[in-house]
Amino acid sequence: MLYQLPLAPKYGELSNERLCAGIADFKRRLGSRLVILGHHYQQDDVIQFADFTGDSLKLSQLAAEHHEAEFIVFCGVHFMAETADILTHEKQTVILPDLSAGCSMADMAHIDQVEAGWPLLEERAEGPITPITYVNSSAAVKAFVGRHDGACCTSSNAKMVMERAAAGFLEEEPALKVVGLRYFNVFGPGEAHKGTVYDPRFPDGGLSAAQVRAAQVFLWKGHCSVHQLFTTRNVEAIRALPEPYAILVHPECEWAVCQGADRVGSTEYIIKTVREAPPGSFWAIGTEVNLVQRLARQHPDKHVRSLAGIQCLCTTMYRIDLKHLYWTLENLVGGRVVNRISVDPETRRWSRVALDRMLALRPAQPVSAR
């Protein structure tokens, strides 16, 4: 994880009004040279200045379409800014306003752990292995996957990518085993939870030779520290309410929570479901609180609340605030680039292979919509 040096005290002394007025002025002065991207989990103070909002991959693709933008300021977390740098033109500069905005999930698969564990899996698996990584991973892990004939996946298309990987992307030699470098619920509620968990904290991933031989899918142990806060107790509490709440959760929630939900799907799927729901409908949503609160404000004709009573906040993304955005843009106006996120050419090349292999597959579908 990178570390952000504290900003000069003068930024802490500026009121929100001054910060907002300054950011608006810097944006106007930079014009089409600047694109600001805002992830759905970002706080409203920052989102109001975003030219585009979306999930990490959609935002990176949008940035790549805007060739005229010299500067891409990504109000998200570190792996998202890396993905934007991989997908955009080399002349474009990607900036993360606070370098400490990391992702706990991405940090759970360090490239050194992946490289250390792979040879043993290959040796013992008795067949080809195709690595798959969730896009919430470092560029180094994506590059590893690209170099080993694998692909990235998102929460929308994970099931499809893994099925295609198991069949062999190139329809040549079938891949017998898949290493998903993430542990999250790629199979929707009602389906079997298949997979052998590889835990990098233990020698050999905590697996015996026989377990490695028998496994069809290895799931890298890791989780999103935000979505794992939702529990089956939350589900039971909502079910006990007199109102007919439908429970809608992100697949990064734990398996039992997904099984207890009515619908499971990506961030974009959650937004679309609430948007298209009839007036008066009740929704208890298991995803990051900033998005849930925004959906509640945007749809006052529907009853939208968090699945949990506690605030499930992505605290790392929350580090990107008005002060850091102001500081970033002020420097750009002054001709200085701060906090550039730059992926080295070799890593960029191979991580692009992993991303492109995913993007070449058919359009993503919701994980589940029962």
Nearer to ligand SF4, 105 or 162 (CB): 105
Distance CA 163, CA 341 (A): 33
Task: State yes or no: residue 133 binds ligand SF4 (CB under 6 A).
Answer: no
- In SS3 terms, the chain reads as CCCCCCCCHHHHCCCHHHHHHHHHHHHHHHHHHEEEEEECCCCHHHHCCCCEEECHHHHHHHHHHCCCCCEEEEECCHHHHHHHHHHCCCCCEEECCCCCCCCHHHHCCCHHHHHHHHHHHHHHHCCCEEEEEECCCCHHHHHHHHHCCCEEECCCCHHHHHHHHHHCCCCCCCCCEEEECCCCCCCCCCCCCCCEEECCCCHHHHCCHHHHHHCCEEEECCCCCCHHHCCHHHHHHHHCCCCCCEEEECCCCCHHHHHHCCEECCHHHHHHHHHHCCCCCEEEEECCHHHHHHHHHHCCCCEEEECCCCCCCCCCHHHCCHHHHHHHHHHHHCCCCCCECCCCHHHHHHHHHHHHHHHCCCCCCCCECC
The two tokens of residue 82 are 């890396």
Packed helices 16-30 and 322-333: angle between N→C axes, nearest 10 degrees: 40
Task: State yes or no: residue 178 binds ligand SF4 (CB under 6 A).
Answer: no
Q: Looking at 165, 215, 219, 224, which residue binds ligand SF4 (CB under 6 A)?
A: 224
Nearer to ligand SF4, 88 or 266 (CB): 266
* 206 neighbors 198 (Cβ within 8 angstroms): yes
Task: State yes or no: residue 157 binds ligand SF4 (CB under 6 A).
Answer: no
Q: Looking at 139, 226, 332, 355, which residue binds ligand SF4 (CB under 6 A)?
A: 226
Nearer to ligand SF4, 34 or 94 (CB): 94
Task: State yes or no: residue 153 binds ligand SF4 (CB under 6 A).
Answer: no
Distance CA 342, CA 95 (A): 9
Q: Looking at 42, 60, 130, 136, which residue binds ligand SF4 (CB under 6 A)?
A: 136
Nearer to ligand SF4, 175 or 325 (CB): 325
Q: Looking at 43, 104, 234, 351, which residue binds ligand SF4 (CB under 6 A)?
A: 104
By CB under 6 A, which span of 182-190, 222-230, 290-298, 325-333 interacts with ligand SF4? 222-230
Q: Looking at 62, 69, 103, 291, which residue binds ligand SF4 (CB under 6 A)?
A: 103
Hey, which residues between 105 and 124 contact ligand SF4 (CB under 6 A)? 105
* 101 neighbors 159 (Cβ within 8 angstroms): no
Task: State yes or no: residue 290 binds ligand SF4 (CB under 6 A).
Answer: no
Q: Looking at 4, 61, 225, 293, which residue binds ligand SF4 (CB under 6 A)?
A: 225
Q: Looking at 288, 328, 354, 358, which residue binds ligand SF4 (CB under 6 A)?
A: 288
Task: State yes or no: residue 60 binds ligand SF4 (CB under 6 A).
Answer: no
Nearer to ligand SF4, 36 or 224 (CB): 224
Nearer to ligand SF4, 136 or 266 (CB): 136
By CB under 6 A, which span of 116-124, 223-231, 265-273, 330-338 interacts with ligand SF4? 223-231
Hey, which residues between 2 and 31 contact ligand SF4 (CB under 6 A)? none
Question: Least distance (Å) from ligand SF4 to the CB of residue 99?
Answer: 15
Nearer to ligand SF4, 186 or 314 (CB): 314
Hey, which residues between 298 and 357 contact ligand SF4 (CB under 6 A)? 314, 316-317
Distance CA 134, CA 147 (A): 16
By CB under 6 A, which span of 9-17, 87-95, 98-106, 151-159 interacts with ligand SF4? 98-106
CB atoms within 10 A of CB 217: 19
Task: State yes or no: residue 138 binds ligand SF4 (CB under 6 A).
Answer: no
Question: Least distance (Å) from ligand SF4 to the CB of residue 29?
Answer: 31
Contact residues: ligand SF4, CB under 6 A: 41, 77, 103-105, 136, 224-226, 288, 314, 316-317
